Amino acid sequence: MNLFRGIIPPIFGLDLSPILAFVTLNLLQSSAVSLGAEIPDDLKEKLEMNNNKKKTGMFGIAMKKGKSEMMMLKDV
């Protein structure tokens, strides 16, 4: 908190430095979350290949068929 108190002095006796601290923490948290959400293209392909290998049985076949039909609708 002392770091932010040096940036923003008290105004009329109110210490506004916690607001700046919370805004800074929120920005850091959201940027860290967005960095974790990005998956490189080569890793995406590898994950999709592994997922396709694991899909077996009638449910897996239905999932593959549904994906191919969705891709055809997307192209139209």
DSSP string, 59-76: HHHHHHHHHHHHHHHHH-
Tell me what the mean pLDDT of segment 12-36 comes to: 88
Mean pLDDT of all residues in 8-27: 90
Q: Domain boundaries in the chain?
A: 2-37, 41-75
pLDDT computed for residue 38 by the predictor: 73
User: Does the pLDDT at position 67 exceed 70?
Assistant: no
Given a contact cutoff of 8 angstroms between Cβ atoms, the answer to whether 21 and 4 are in contact is: yes
